[in-house]
Chains A and B, each alone.
Chain A
Amino acid sequence: MRALAAEVAKLVSLPSVWIATAAGVLVPSGIAAINASAARGAITRGARATAGADLGYQELAFGVVGVIILGVVAISSEYVTESAESGGGRQITTSLTAVPSRLRFLLAKASAVAIAGASLAIVAGAATMSAVRVVLGEHAPPLGTDDVPRLAGVVCYWVCAALLAFAITVLTRHGVVPLAVLIANTSVVSVTYLLTKITPLANYLPDLAGAHMFVRTFAGGTVEISPLTGGLVMTAWTTALLTVAAVAFTRRDA
Protein backbone atom coordinates (compact mmCIF):
# COMPACT_ATOMS: atom_id res chain seq x y z
CA MET A 1 0.00 0.00 0.00
CA ARG A 2 2.90 2.36 0.75
CA ALA A 3 4.33 1.72 -2.69
CA LEU A 4 0.92 2.50 -4.21
CA ALA A 5 0.63 5.71 -2.15
CA ALA A 6 4.05 6.75 -3.46
CA GLU A 7 3.05 6.06 -7.06
CA VAL A 8 -0.18 8.04 -6.71
CA ALA A 9 1.81 10.93 -5.21
CA LYS A 10 4.21 10.76 -8.18
CA LEU A 11 1.38 10.94 -10.72
CA VAL A 12 -0.36 13.83 -8.98
CA SER A 13 2.85 15.91 -8.80
CA LEU A 14 3.80 15.42 -12.47
CA PRO A 15 2.70 18.33 -14.73
CA SER A 16 2.40 16.10 -17.83
CA VAL A 17 -0.22 14.03 -15.99
CA TRP A 18 -2.35 17.17 -15.68
CA ILE A 19 -1.92 17.76 -19.42
CA ALA A 20 -3.12 14.17 -19.94
CA THR A 21 -6.11 14.85 -17.68
CA ALA A 22 -7.03 18.01 -19.56
CA ALA A 23 -6.74 16.20 -22.91
CA GLY A 24 -8.80 13.28 -21.62
CA VAL A 25 -11.70 15.50 -20.56
CA LEU A 26 -11.58 18.29 -23.17
CA VAL A 27 -10.97 16.22 -26.33
CA PRO A 28 -14.03 13.93 -26.14
CA SER A 29 -16.41 16.51 -24.64
CA GLY A 30 -15.28 19.19 -27.13
CA ILE A 31 -15.65 16.93 -30.18
CA ALA A 32 -18.97 15.63 -28.83
CA ALA A 33 -20.27 19.20 -28.51
CA ILE A 34 -19.28 19.98 -32.13
CA ASN A 35 -20.82 16.74 -33.44
CA ALA A 36 -23.96 17.27 -31.36
CA SER A 37 -24.29 20.76 -32.76
CA ALA A 38 -24.04 19.36 -36.32
CA ALA A 39 -26.62 16.67 -35.48
CA ARG A 40 -28.96 19.29 -34.04
CA GLY A 41 -28.72 21.28 -37.27
CA ALA A 42 -29.50 18.14 -39.30
CA ILE A 43 -32.48 17.29 -37.07
CA THR A 44 -34.01 20.78 -37.20
CA ARG A 45 -33.58 20.84 -41.01
CA GLY A 46 -35.34 17.50 -41.08
CA ALA A 47 -32.35 15.78 -42.70
CA ARG A 48 -32.30 13.10 -39.96
CA ALA A 49 -34.72 11.92 -37.33
CA THR A 50 -32.38 11.24 -34.38
CA ALA A 51 -28.86 12.04 -33.24
CA GLY A 52 -27.75 8.41 -33.44
CA ALA A 53 -27.01 5.92 -30.66
CA ASP A 54 -23.23 6.38 -30.85
CA LEU A 55 -23.12 10.13 -30.27
CA GLY A 56 -20.81 10.67 -27.29
CA TYR A 57 -19.47 7.12 -27.41
CA GLN A 58 -17.54 7.57 -30.66
CA GLU A 59 -15.93 10.65 -29.12
CA LEU A 60 -15.04 8.75 -25.95
CA ALA A 61 -13.20 6.19 -28.09
CA PHE A 62 -11.19 9.16 -29.35
CA GLY A 63 -10.63 10.74 -25.95
CA VAL A 64 -8.60 7.75 -24.90
CA VAL A 65 -5.51 9.79 -25.97
CA GLY A 66 -5.67 11.29 -22.46
CA VAL A 67 -5.03 7.99 -20.71
CA ILE A 68 -2.50 6.96 -23.35
CA ILE A 69 -0.43 10.01 -22.36
CA LEU A 70 -0.99 9.07 -18.70
CA GLY A 71 0.18 5.48 -19.17
CA VAL A 72 3.26 6.54 -21.14
CA VAL A 73 4.49 9.36 -18.89
CA ALA A 74 3.91 7.34 -15.71
CA ILE A 75 6.84 5.15 -16.68
CA SER A 76 8.84 7.29 -19.14
CA SER A 77 9.25 9.93 -16.40
CA GLU A 78 11.26 7.33 -14.45
CA TYR A 79 13.79 7.07 -17.28
CA VAL A 80 14.18 10.74 -18.22
CA THR A 81 17.91 11.41 -17.87
CA GLU A 82 19.06 14.68 -16.38
CA SER A 83 21.44 16.77 -18.44
CA ALA A 84 25.14 15.97 -18.06
CA GLU A 85 25.63 19.30 -16.23
CA SER A 86 23.04 18.19 -13.66
CA GLY A 87 24.79 14.88 -13.07
CA GLY A 88 22.97 12.62 -15.54
CA GLY A 89 20.75 10.94 -12.95
CA ARG A 90 17.44 9.14 -13.47
CA GLN A 91 14.51 8.82 -11.08
CA ILE A 92 14.30 5.03 -11.53
CA THR A 93 17.36 4.59 -9.28
CA THR A 94 15.60 6.47 -6.47
CA SER A 95 12.37 4.52 -7.06
CA LEU A 96 14.05 1.13 -6.91
CA THR A 97 16.12 1.94 -3.83
CA ALA A 98 12.89 3.02 -2.11
CA VAL A 99 10.92 -0.03 -3.34
CA PRO A 100 13.55 -2.68 -4.22
CA SER A 101 11.14 -5.41 -5.34
CA ARG A 102 10.72 -4.91 -9.08
CA LEU A 103 7.41 -6.72 -9.15
CA ARG A 104 5.99 -4.75 -6.24
CA PHE A 105 7.15 -1.50 -7.84
CA LEU A 106 5.60 -2.34 -11.21
CA LEU A 107 2.37 -3.58 -9.62
CA ALA A 108 2.05 -0.39 -7.56
CA LYS A 109 2.68 1.76 -10.62
CA ALA A 110 0.24 -0.18 -12.82
CA SER A 111 -2.39 0.08 -10.07
CA ALA A 112 -1.88 3.83 -9.80
CA VAL A 113 -2.23 4.14 -13.59
CA ALA A 114 -5.40 2.00 -13.54
CA ILE A 115 -6.96 4.04 -10.73
CA ALA A 116 -6.09 7.33 -12.45
CA GLY A 117 -7.32 5.98 -15.81
CA ALA A 118 -10.66 4.85 -14.35
CA SER A 119 -11.19 8.17 -12.54
CA LEU A 120 -10.40 10.09 -15.70
CA ALA A 121 -12.78 7.91 -17.73
CA ILE A 122 -15.63 8.58 -15.29
CA VAL A 123 -15.06 12.35 -15.37
CA ALA A 124 -14.63 12.38 -19.16
CA GLY A 125 -17.73 10.18 -19.64
CA ALA A 126 -19.83 12.51 -17.51
CA ALA A 127 -18.45 15.61 -19.26
CA THR A 128 -19.00 14.16 -22.74
CA MET A 129 -22.55 12.94 -22.11
CA SER A 130 -23.41 16.28 -20.49
CA ALA A 131 -22.01 18.17 -23.47
CA VAL A 132 -24.22 16.11 -25.83
CA ARG A 133 -27.30 16.76 -23.69
CA VAL A 134 -26.65 20.46 -23.27
CA VAL A 135 -26.17 21.01 -27.02
CA LEU A 136 -28.99 18.75 -28.25
CA GLY A 137 -31.53 19.68 -25.59
CA GLU A 138 -34.86 17.96 -26.34
CA HIS A 139 -33.33 16.04 -29.29
CA ALA A 140 -30.84 14.23 -27.05
CA PRO A 141 -31.26 10.46 -26.93
CA PRO A 142 -32.40 9.58 -23.38
CA LEU A 143 -29.85 7.89 -21.13
CA GLY A 144 -31.30 4.57 -20.01
CA THR A 145 -30.32 1.26 -18.44
CA ASP A 146 -28.82 0.39 -21.82
CA ASP A 147 -26.13 2.98 -21.24
CA VAL A 148 -24.90 1.52 -17.94
CA PRO A 149 -22.98 -1.40 -19.49
CA ARG A 150 -21.84 0.86 -22.33
CA LEU A 151 -20.41 3.47 -19.95
CA ALA A 152 -18.80 0.68 -17.90
CA GLY A 153 -17.31 -0.44 -21.22
CA VAL A 154 -15.84 3.05 -21.70
CA VAL A 155 -14.15 2.88 -18.29
CA CYS A 156 -12.81 -0.60 -19.05
CA TYR A 157 -11.56 0.59 -22.47
CA TRP A 158 -9.73 3.56 -20.97
CA VAL A 159 -8.11 1.53 -18.19
CA CYS A 160 -6.94 -1.12 -20.67
CA ALA A 161 -5.62 1.55 -23.08
CA ALA A 162 -3.69 3.23 -20.24
CA LEU A 163 -2.18 -0.09 -19.16
CA LEU A 164 -1.30 -1.07 -22.76
CA ALA A 165 0.52 2.26 -23.24
CA PHE A 166 2.19 1.71 -19.86
CA ALA A 167 3.35 -1.83 -20.70
CA ILE A 168 4.74 -0.78 -24.10
CA THR A 169 6.68 2.09 -22.49
CA VAL A 170 8.12 -0.25 -19.83
CA LEU A 171 9.66 -2.11 -22.77
CA THR A 172 10.89 0.97 -24.69
CA ARG A 173 11.99 2.94 -21.55
CA HIS A 174 11.38 6.07 -23.59
CA GLY A 175 8.12 7.95 -24.08
CA VAL A 176 8.41 9.64 -27.47
CA VAL A 177 7.96 6.67 -29.81
CA PRO A 178 5.04 4.96 -28.01
CA LEU A 179 3.36 8.33 -27.53
CA ALA A 180 3.65 9.26 -31.22
CA VAL A 181 2.59 5.85 -32.52
CA LEU A 182 -0.32 5.34 -30.12
CA ILE A 183 -1.73 8.85 -30.45
CA ALA A 184 -1.42 8.82 -34.25
CA ASN A 185 -3.18 5.46 -34.36
CA THR A 186 -6.03 6.83 -32.23
CA SER A 187 -6.48 10.22 -33.83
CA VAL A 188 -4.82 10.75 -37.21
CA VAL A 189 -4.69 7.50 -39.16
CA SER A 190 -5.94 4.34 -37.51
CA VAL A 191 -3.39 1.82 -38.73
CA THR A 192 -5.30 -0.93 -36.96
CA TYR A 193 -8.45 0.08 -38.88
CA LEU A 194 -6.59 0.07 -42.20
CA LEU A 195 -5.32 -3.42 -41.38
CA THR A 196 -8.92 -4.66 -41.23
CA LYS A 197 -9.04 -4.00 -44.98
CA ILE A 198 -6.27 -6.55 -45.41
CA THR A 199 -7.28 -9.18 -42.86
CA PRO A 200 -10.43 -9.58 -40.74
CA LEU A 201 -8.14 -10.75 -37.93
CA ALA A 202 -7.17 -7.09 -37.39
CA ASN A 203 -10.62 -6.61 -35.84
CA TYR A 204 -9.23 -8.49 -32.85
CA LEU A 205 -6.46 -5.94 -32.23
CA PRO A 206 -7.02 -4.38 -28.79
CA ASP A 207 -8.27 -0.91 -29.76
CA LEU A 208 -10.81 -2.15 -32.34
CA ALA A 209 -12.04 -5.13 -30.33
CA GLY A 210 -12.30 -3.06 -27.16
CA ALA A 211 -14.36 -0.33 -28.85
CA HIS A 212 -17.13 -2.91 -29.41
CA MET A 213 -17.83 -2.64 -25.68
CA PHE A 214 -19.63 0.67 -26.29
CA VAL A 215 -19.69 1.65 -29.99
CA ARG A 216 -22.63 0.04 -31.81
CA THR A 217 -22.09 0.73 -35.50
CA PHE A 218 -18.73 0.49 -37.20
CA ALA A 219 -18.20 2.07 -40.59
CA GLY A 220 -17.30 -0.79 -42.88
CA GLY A 221 -17.14 -3.23 -39.98
CA THR A 222 -16.34 -6.68 -41.33
CA VAL A 223 -16.67 -8.87 -38.25
CA GLU A 224 -19.41 -9.16 -35.61
CA ILE A 225 -17.92 -8.89 -32.13
CA SER A 226 -20.18 -8.77 -29.06
CA PRO A 227 -19.44 -6.19 -26.33
CA LEU A 228 -18.42 -8.95 -23.93
CA THR A 229 -16.08 -10.62 -26.44
CA GLY A 230 -14.58 -7.23 -27.29
CA GLY A 231 -13.89 -6.56 -23.62
CA LEU A 232 -12.35 -9.97 -23.07
CA VAL A 233 -10.13 -9.64 -26.15
CA MET A 234 -8.82 -6.25 -25.03
CA THR A 235 -8.28 -7.49 -21.46
CA ALA A 236 -6.35 -10.48 -22.79
CA TRP A 237 -4.08 -8.18 -24.85
CA THR A 238 -3.50 -5.97 -21.81
CA THR A 239 -2.69 -8.91 -19.52
CA ALA A 240 -0.32 -10.40 -22.09
CA LEU A 241 1.60 -7.14 -22.63
CA LEU A 242 1.79 -6.42 -18.90
CA THR A 243 3.21 -9.91 -18.37
CA VAL A 244 5.87 -9.42 -21.05
CA ALA A 245 6.71 -6.00 -19.55
CA ALA A 246 6.99 -7.46 -16.03
CA VAL A 247 9.28 -10.28 -17.20
CA ALA A 248 11.57 -7.83 -19.03
CA PHE A 249 11.54 -5.33 -16.18
CA THR A 250 12.44 -7.85 -13.47
CA ARG A 251 15.27 -9.34 -15.52
CA ARG A 252 17.12 -6.35 -16.90
CA ASP A 253 19.45 -3.88 -15.18
CA ALA A 254 17.67 -0.72 -14.05
Chain B
Amino acid sequence: MTVITIDDLVKRRGSREILSGISFQARPGRVTGFLGPNGAGKSSTLRILLGLDRATSGTALIGSVPFARLPDPLATVGAMLDGSGAHRARTGRAHLRWVARSAGLPRRRVDEVLEVVGLTNAASKRIGGYSLGMGRRLALATALLGDPEILILDEPVNGLDPDGIRWIRTFLRERAASGRTVLLSSHLMGELAETVDDVVIIKEGRVVADGTLEEVTGSHGTLEDAFFALTTGGAP
Protein backbone atom coordinates (compact mmCIF):
# COMPACT_ATOMS: atom_id res chain seq x y z
CA MET B 1 0.00 0.00 0.00
CA THR B 2 2.84 2.39 0.68
CA VAL B 3 4.99 2.07 -2.43
CA ILE B 4 5.47 5.29 -4.38
CA THR B 5 5.28 4.64 -8.11
CA ILE B 6 6.24 7.28 -10.65
CA ASP B 7 5.48 6.17 -14.19
CA ASP B 8 6.60 7.97 -17.35
CA LEU B 9 6.03 11.47 -16.01
CA VAL B 10 6.20 14.26 -18.58
CA LYS B 11 5.79 17.95 -17.73
CA ARG B 12 5.88 20.77 -20.25
CA ARG B 13 5.73 24.45 -19.40
CA GLY B 14 5.14 26.41 -22.55
CA SER B 15 7.61 25.00 -25.07
CA ARG B 16 10.05 23.84 -22.40
CA GLU B 17 10.05 20.20 -21.37
CA ILE B 18 10.91 19.98 -17.67
CA LEU B 19 10.34 16.24 -17.23
CA SER B 20 10.83 13.84 -20.14
CA GLY B 21 9.49 10.50 -18.92
CA ILE B 22 10.54 10.01 -15.28
CA SER B 23 9.89 6.51 -13.89
CA PHE B 24 11.00 5.00 -10.57
CA GLN B 25 9.71 3.48 -7.33
CA ALA B 26 10.31 4.17 -3.66
CA ARG B 27 9.69 1.14 -1.44
CA PRO B 28 8.71 0.67 2.21
CA GLY B 29 11.52 0.01 4.66
CA ARG B 30 14.00 1.93 2.53
CA VAL B 31 15.27 5.47 2.19
CA THR B 32 15.26 6.46 -1.48
CA GLY B 33 17.51 9.34 -2.49
CA PHE B 34 16.27 11.34 -5.47
CA LEU B 35 19.35 13.15 -6.72
CA GLY B 36 20.18 15.61 -9.43
CA PRO B 37 21.70 19.02 -10.04
CA ASN B 38 19.58 22.14 -9.44
CA GLY B 39 16.95 22.46 -12.16
CA ALA B 40 17.03 18.76 -13.09
CA GLY B 41 13.33 18.36 -12.25
CA LYS B 42 13.41 16.98 -8.69
CA SER B 43 11.00 19.50 -7.19
CA SER B 44 8.69 19.32 -10.22
CA THR B 45 8.47 15.55 -9.82
CA LEU B 46 7.70 15.79 -6.11
CA ARG B 47 5.12 18.57 -6.67
CA ILE B 48 3.31 16.40 -9.22
CA LEU B 49 3.48 13.44 -6.82
CA LEU B 50 1.81 15.63 -4.16
CA GLY B 51 -0.89 16.85 -6.53
CA LEU B 52 0.35 20.45 -6.45
CA ASP B 53 1.28 20.55 -10.14
CA ARG B 54 -0.37 18.71 -13.00
CA ALA B 55 1.62 16.35 -15.21
CA THR B 56 1.35 16.73 -18.97
CA SER B 57 1.25 12.91 -19.09
CA GLY B 58 2.17 9.94 -16.93
CA THR B 59 1.14 8.98 -13.41
CA ALA B 60 2.43 9.35 -9.87
CA LEU B 61 0.79 7.05 -7.32
CA ILE B 62 0.83 6.57 -3.55
CA GLY B 63 0.08 2.84 -3.27
CA SER B 64 -2.55 2.56 -5.97
CA VAL B 65 -4.10 6.05 -5.97
CA PRO B 66 -2.97 9.58 -6.80
CA PHE B 67 -2.25 11.73 -3.74
CA ALA B 68 -5.37 13.85 -4.26
CA ARG B 69 -7.58 10.79 -3.78
CA LEU B 70 -6.08 9.60 -0.50
CA PRO B 71 -8.85 9.36 2.13
CA ASP B 72 -6.59 10.59 4.93
CA PRO B 73 -3.64 12.40 3.32
CA LEU B 74 -1.89 13.66 6.46
CA ALA B 75 -1.85 10.20 8.05
CA THR B 76 -0.55 8.63 4.84
CA VAL B 77 2.01 11.11 3.52
CA GLY B 78 4.09 13.71 5.33
CA ALA B 79 5.50 16.27 2.91
CA MET B 80 8.20 18.90 3.29
CA LEU B 81 8.78 21.28 0.40
CA ASP B 82 10.44 24.73 0.22
CA GLY B 83 11.16 26.71 3.39
CA SER B 84 8.74 26.43 6.29
CA GLY B 85 5.55 26.29 4.21
CA ALA B 86 3.99 28.59 6.79
CA HIS B 87 2.82 32.21 6.96
CA ARG B 88 5.37 34.44 8.69
CA ALA B 89 2.84 36.29 10.84
CA ARG B 90 1.68 33.18 12.71
CA THR B 91 3.46 31.47 15.56
CA GLY B 92 4.89 28.00 14.98
CA ARG B 93 2.26 26.51 17.29
CA ALA B 94 -0.64 28.31 15.55
CA HIS B 95 0.59 26.99 12.19
CA LEU B 96 0.73 23.39 13.42
CA ARG B 97 -2.68 23.78 15.08
CA TRP B 98 -4.52 24.64 11.87
CA VAL B 99 -2.82 21.78 10.04
CA ALA B 100 -3.81 19.41 12.88
CA ARG B 101 -7.41 20.67 12.67
CA SER B 102 -7.57 19.95 8.95
CA ALA B 103 -6.99 16.25 9.73
CA GLY B 104 -8.95 16.12 12.99
CA LEU B 105 -5.75 15.41 14.96
CA PRO B 106 -5.67 16.17 18.71
CA ARG B 107 -3.81 19.26 19.99
CA ARG B 108 -1.50 16.94 21.89
CA ARG B 109 0.11 15.95 18.54
CA VAL B 110 1.21 19.55 18.02
CA ASP B 111 3.24 19.57 21.23
CA GLU B 112 4.60 16.11 20.46
CA VAL B 113 5.99 17.04 17.03
CA LEU B 114 7.36 20.34 18.36
CA GLU B 115 9.27 18.26 20.89
CA VAL B 116 10.49 15.78 18.25
CA VAL B 117 12.04 18.51 16.06
CA GLY B 118 13.28 20.54 19.03
CA LEU B 119 11.14 23.64 18.51
CA THR B 120 9.23 23.62 21.82
CA ASN B 121 10.96 26.76 23.05
CA ALA B 122 10.32 28.68 19.82
CA ALA B 123 6.69 27.53 19.45
CA SER B 124 5.23 30.85 20.64
CA LYS B 125 7.46 32.98 18.40
CA ARG B 126 6.33 34.32 15.05
CA ILE B 127 7.64 32.27 12.11
CA GLY B 128 8.95 35.48 10.51
CA GLY B 129 11.63 35.51 13.20
CA TYR B 130 12.77 31.92 12.59
CA SER B 131 16.14 31.08 11.04
CA LEU B 132 16.19 28.94 7.88
CA GLY B 133 17.03 25.90 10.00
CA MET B 134 14.11 26.55 12.39
CA GLY B 135 11.74 26.98 9.43
CA ARG B 136 12.89 23.63 8.06
CA ARG B 137 12.32 22.01 11.44
CA LEU B 138 8.80 23.46 11.49
CA ALA B 139 8.18 22.04 8.02
CA LEU B 140 9.36 18.63 9.22
CA ALA B 141 7.12 18.91 12.31
CA THR B 142 4.20 19.60 9.95
CA ALA B 143 5.08 16.51 7.90
CA LEU B 144 5.17 14.37 11.05
CA LEU B 145 1.82 15.54 12.51
CA GLY B 146 -0.21 12.63 11.14
CA ASP B 147 2.53 10.07 11.94
CA PRO B 148 2.47 9.09 8.24
CA GLU B 149 3.58 5.87 6.57
CA ILE B 150 5.41 7.84 3.90
CA LEU B 151 7.72 10.85 4.09
CA ILE B 152 8.40 12.93 0.98
CA LEU B 153 11.09 15.50 1.66
CA ASP B 154 12.46 18.05 -0.81
CA GLU B 155 16.04 18.99 0.10
CA PRO B 156 15.56 18.22 3.82
CA VAL B 157 19.14 18.97 4.85
CA ASN B 158 19.21 22.42 3.21
CA GLY B 159 19.63 25.08 5.87
CA LEU B 160 20.20 22.67 8.74
CA ASP B 161 23.28 23.06 10.92
CA PRO B 162 25.65 20.05 11.24
CA ASP B 163 23.79 18.92 14.37
CA GLY B 164 20.49 19.07 12.52
CA ILE B 165 21.87 17.12 9.55
CA ARG B 166 23.19 14.40 11.83
CA TRP B 167 19.88 14.29 13.67
CA ILE B 168 17.76 14.04 10.52
CA ARG B 169 19.96 11.24 9.12
CA THR B 170 19.41 9.14 12.24
CA PHE B 171 15.74 10.03 12.29
CA LEU B 172 15.14 8.97 8.67
CA ARG B 173 17.06 5.71 9.14
CA GLU B 174 14.80 4.90 12.10
CA ARG B 175 11.67 5.64 10.05
CA ALA B 176 12.83 3.26 7.32
CA ALA B 177 13.84 0.63 9.87
CA SER B 178 10.26 0.63 11.19
CA GLY B 179 9.04 -0.31 7.69
CA ARG B 180 8.02 3.13 6.43
CA THR B 181 8.79 4.69 3.07
CA VAL B 182 11.15 7.67 2.85
CA LEU B 183 11.73 9.59 -0.39
CA LEU B 184 14.04 12.56 -0.24
CA SER B 185 15.57 14.79 -2.87
CA SER B 186 18.95 16.44 -2.67
CA HIS B 187 21.70 18.01 -4.70
CA LEU B 188 24.20 17.41 -1.87
CA MET B 189 25.89 14.01 -2.27
CA GLY B 190 28.17 13.88 0.74
CA GLU B 191 25.29 14.22 3.19
CA LEU B 192 23.35 11.41 1.60
CA ALA B 193 25.68 8.47 1.02
CA GLU B 194 25.30 7.38 4.65
CA THR B 195 21.53 7.79 4.70
CA VAL B 196 20.07 6.22 1.57
CA ASP B 197 19.46 2.62 0.52
CA ASP B 198 18.30 3.28 -3.03
CA VAL B 199 19.37 6.01 -5.42
CA VAL B 200 17.62 7.61 -8.38
CA ILE B 201 19.69 10.19 -10.28
CA ILE B 202 18.08 12.54 -12.78
CA LYS B 203 19.56 15.00 -15.21
CA GLU B 204 17.63 17.42 -17.42
CA GLY B 205 14.33 15.68 -16.74
CA ARG B 206 15.53 12.12 -17.40
CA VAL B 207 16.54 9.29 -15.07
CA VAL B 208 20.22 8.48 -15.64
CA ALA B 209 20.66 5.94 -12.84
CA ASP B 210 18.31 3.89 -10.66
CA GLY B 211 19.28 1.14 -8.22
CA THR B 212 20.63 0.34 -4.79
CA LEU B 213 23.39 2.53 -3.40
CA GLU B 214 25.98 -0.18 -4.26
CA GLU B 215 24.68 -0.63 -7.80
CA VAL B 216 24.72 3.09 -8.58
CA THR B 217 28.06 3.75 -6.90
CA GLY B 218 29.51 0.76 -8.75
CA SER B 219 33.03 1.27 -9.96
CA HIS B 220 33.00 5.03 -9.27
CA GLY B 221 34.22 4.54 -5.71
CA THR B 222 31.87 7.02 -4.05
CA LEU B 223 28.30 8.18 -4.66
CA GLU B 224 29.66 11.66 -5.27
CA ASP B 225 31.97 10.46 -8.04
CA ALA B 226 29.15 8.47 -9.60
CA PHE B 227 26.87 11.51 -9.42
CA PHE B 228 29.29 13.81 -11.22
CA ALA B 229 30.17 11.19 -13.78
CA LEU B 230 26.49 10.68 -14.57
CA THR B 231 25.31 14.29 -14.48
CA THR B 232 28.14 16.30 -15.99
CA GLY B 233 28.84 13.92 -18.87
CA GLY B 234 32.54 14.09 -18.01
CA ALA B 235 34.96 11.16 -17.72
CA PRO B 236 33.90 8.46 -15.23
Residues of chain A at the chain B interface (Cβ within 8 Å) = 2-3, 5-7, 9-10, 13-16, 77-78, 80, 82, 85-91, 93-94, 96-101, 251, 253-254
Contacts and interface: CB of A to CB of B under 8 A. Distances in A.
Contact of A99 (B52, B69, B84, B102): B102
A87 B102 contact: no
B102 A85 contact: no
Given A87-B136, A91-B87, A6 B99 contact: yes
Interface string B64-98: 00011110011001010111111111110011011
Contact of A86 (B51, B83, B99, B102): B83
B181 to A, nearest CB: 16
B81 A86 contact: no
B70 A6 contact: no
16 contacts: A2-B103, A6-B98, A13-B90, A13-B91, A16-B89, A78-B87, A82-B135, A87-B159, A88-B82, A89-B83, A93-B47, A93-B85, A94-B142, A96-B52, A97-B52, A100-B70
A100 B82 contact: no
Nearest to B67: A100
Nearest to A16: B89
Which among A10, A78, A97, A253 has the greatest number of chain B C-beta atoms within 10 A?
A97
B54 interface: yes
B83 A9 contact: no
A16 B88 CA distance: 12
Chain A's interface: helix, strand, loop or mixed, by majority? helix
B50 interface: yes
B50 A13 contact: no
A6 B102 contact: yes
Given A9-B98, A82-B82, A97-B52, 11 more contacts: A78-B87, A82-B88, A85-B132, A86-B88, A86-B135, A87-B82, A93-B79, A97-B74, A97-B77, A98-B74, A100-B70
Contacts of B87: 14, 77-78, 80, 91
A90 B43 CA distance: 14
Contacts of B77: 97
Interface size class of B (residues with CB under 8 A): 35 or more
Nearest to A9: B98
A90 B82 contact: yes
A99 B88 CA distance: 20
Contact of B101 (A2, A78, A82, A94): A2
Given A97-B50, A253-B53, A89 B101 contact: no
B99 A100 contact: no
A11 B130 CA distance: 21
A96 B98 contact: no
Given A13-B90, A14-B90, A98-B103, A86 B73 contact: no
A89 B86 contact: yes
B99 A13 contact: no
A100 B54 CA distance: 13
B191 to A, nearest CB: 17
A86 B132 contact: yes
A2 B132 contact: no
Contacts of A101: 68
A100 B77 CA distance: 11
A89 B99 contact: no
A89 B88 CA distance: 10
Contacts of B67: 97, 100
B73 A98 contact: yes
Nearest to B82: A89
B104 interface: yes
Nearest to A11: B98
Contact of B88 (A3, A80, A94, A254): A80
